[in-house]
Structure 1
Amino acid sequence: MLSFVANDAIVKHLSQQIPTIQVIFVRGFIASTLLFFIVHATKLGSRLGDLRNGRVGLRSAFDGLATIAYLSALAWLPIGNATAINMAAPMLLVFLVVLLTKQSVDARKWMAIGAGFLGVILIVQPRLDGMNRYALLCLLGTFLHACRDFVTRGIDPAISSVIVTLSTSLFVTVLAGLCLSPYPWTPITWQEGGLLCAAGGFLCVGYLLVTISMRAGDVTVVAPFRYTGLIFAIALGWLVWDETPNAAAWTGIAVLFGAGAYVLRRERQRSHSQLDAQPD
């Protein structure tokens, strides 16, 4: 989440001078190049055929469309509004898990996830005047991100997370390139190029870690930790723009951490109960 927040901040900053779709394309090209080096360094070249796997492709499609939608909206929305909408992804993900897999989620866990979202609202305090067609586009991106995370769970464990990440990065880059093709190219300065390289690096790290966590961890436990992105965003705002939370925001932070800790504690208790119930 820290990597994604840093990436989003750079993209939003650069989108003031460069068309957002061009930023996404160049950033994706840089990230894909880095990932190809990682594939070579880890001797995974023989597994590039896994890029043709159906679930890997479906995950990449969801992520590519989600990225275009969210970052396009972020360029026009107040960052508080966009962040608040995007933090709905864990709830949407749990909803998809319950709806499509019939996995039981007790009422207390639902309440904890809802409390976490309330904490997010208290932190970002979105303004009603920012809710427009771009907010709907951001909401669409959030739903597609939840679909991406759900599909990630069904990918064959034998397929390397690096390959899954490369597939996503390539899809985003190609899709952005197709969207960019009708428009003129905006020149990029050396400083902007450096920031794009940094964004590509952060994107690689974020892609890899979110892929690993969604494949290896329990979705209902991992999903609420997406809220930590708000904490990193607050820290970044304080360090870079000298922004500090007000009383309502600090209350939201407390609620957010409390809800996340509660979900983790409940899940650990359930796991221990299942282990105790197993025969020796």
Structure 2
Amino acid sequence: MTPNHRGILAMVAGMCAFVTNDTLVKYVSQSLPAAQLIFLRGVFASLLLLAAAQAMGLLGGVPALRDRRVLLRAFLDACATFTYLIAVFNMPLANATAINMATPLVITLFAILAFGERVTPARWVAIAVGFLGVLLVVQPASEGFNGYALLCLFGTLLHAARDLMTRTIPRSIPSLLVTLSTALAVTLFAGSWTLVQTWVPVAAWQLGLLAAASLFLSAGYYLLIVAMRDGEMSLIAPFRYTGLLFALVLGYAVWGDVPNLLAWCGIVLLVAAGLHVLLAGRPRPAP
């Protein structure tokens, strides 16, 4: 199997894992405070990843996690997790996922601003069309508009920054340990938050769902890192959009969420623009 094939499979499987995790935590969020459930899920995920690292003989490499690029990536991921999940708890899952699908477009914008890459007029049009699609999904003039959609957009910026940082981490640091650093950062962040909130009693079924969510979350973290490190980014990144299909199915099955006509138009524009930007080839760096 080629690196591109491995990267594509990792991206598709990772998106499925992330959306399944989102569904489970959104369901539990109806009865547990956000910080508490993220902390409990993080504890489960951290223990799972520590056990996996021990089984694979990787714990000796833990000191490498002090690398500033690993620490910055973990911090960005922790912030992105909180902003995105809080948005997910307060809006339809498919719509939140569609907004998050703007990440490939934001990565392109970051590459232009940070690395001085040249972009053709056609690409600028595609980027504009993609964000028009996001606005159609958010629908700022509709009765259902609230600040959580904007929070989801901010989370998208953080996710893009996290993905760009992943590319800078030395390959000598195993992907599993990078995954562990993220899980620990999210857990510590959530644990700090719980100190200023009232702790709610947790039922066995809630713990069970959060343990299951931690399994999908850990798999998603790992698979995304593998996808971002393996193969051609321009070929692999568009498969991020498969997460939207999983979100639509689960959102309908669990909550009966169906995007309205404008949202469907926005989703189509967003996906089409993202595919165009990412499949048209890499822009040449400025001289």
Partner of 2:71: 57
| C-alpha displacement of 1:181 | 1.2
Whichever residue aligns with residue 177 of structure 2, its letter is I
Query: How far apart are the structure 2 equivalents of 1:79 and 1:13?
Result: 11
Q: TM-score, normalised by structure 2?
A: 0.81
Q: Is 1:183 paired with 2:194? A: no
Aligned partner (choices 220, 223, 245) of residue 231 of structure 1 = 245
The aligned length equals 269
Whichever residue aligns with residue 66 of structure 1, its letter is A
Partner of 1:158: 172
Q: TM-score, normalised by structure 1?
A: 0.82
Question: What runs of 5+ residues in structure 2 fail to find an aligned partner?
Answer: 1-14
Within 5 Å, give how 1:188-227 maps onto structure 2: 188-227=202-241
Whichever residue aligns with residue 38 of structure 1, its letter is A
* Most deviating of 82-91 and 196-205: 82-91
Q: Is the 8 A contact 1:121 1:252 kept in 2?
A: yes
Partner of 1:131: 145
Query: How far apart are the structure 1 equivalents of 2:162 and 2:141?
Result: 28
Q: Is 1:40 paired with 2:50? A: no
Query: How far apart are the structure 2 equivalents of 1:124 and 1:232?
Result: 19
| C-alpha displacement of 1:22 | 0.6
Partner of 1:172: 186
Shift in alpha-carbon separation, 1:247–1:81, aligned structure 2, 3 A? closer
Shift in alpha-carbon separation, 1:156–1:205, aligned structure 2, 3 A? same
Shift in alpha-carbon separation, 1:82–1:257, aligned structure 2, 3 A? closer
Query: How far apart are the structure 2 equivalents of 1:191 and 1:127?
Result: 39
Query: How far apart are the structure 1 equivalents of 2:278 and 2:90?
Result: 35
* Most deviating of 5-14 and 137-146: 137-146
Query: How far apart are the structure 2 equivalents of 1:43 and 1:110?
Result: 47
Q: Is 1:3 paired with 2:26? A: no
| C-alpha displacement of 1:113 | 5.0
Q: Is the 8 A contact 1:89 1:142 kept in 2?
A: yes
* Most deviating of 34-43 and 82-91: 82-91
Query: How far apart are the structure 2 equivalents of 1:260 and 1:17?
Result: 36
Whichever residue aligns with residue 76 of structure 2, its letter is F
Matched-pair identity in %: 48
Partner of 2:82: 68
| C-alpha displacement of 1:249 | 6.3
Query: How far apart are the structure 2 equivalents of 1:247 and 1:5?
Result: 22
Deviations 1:153-179 (Å, cap 9, x if unpaired)? 111111111111100100000010001
Whichever residue aligns with residue 16 of structure 1, its letter is Q
Shift in alpha-carbon separation, 1:186–1:248, aligned structure 2, 3 A? same
Within 5 Å, give how 1:78-89 maps onto structure 2: 78-89=92-103
Query: How far apart are the structure 1 equivalents of 2:149 and 2:256?
Result: 26
Partner of 2:44: 30
Query: How far apart are the structure 1 equivalents of 2:56 and 2:209?
Result: 27
Give the secondary structure class of the aligned counterpart of 2:40. Answer: helix
Partner of 2:11: none
Question: What runs of 5+ residues in structure 1 fail to find an aligned partner?
Answer: 272-280
Partner of 2:109: 95
Query: How far apart are the structure 2 equivalents of 1:256 and 1:31?
Result: 32
Give the secondary structure class of the aligned counterpart of 1:128. Answer: coil
Whichever residue aligns with residue 28 of structure 1, its letter is G
How large is the Cα RMSD of the aligned pairs?
2.9
Query: How far apart are the structure 2 equivalents of 1:66 and 1:101?
Result: 23
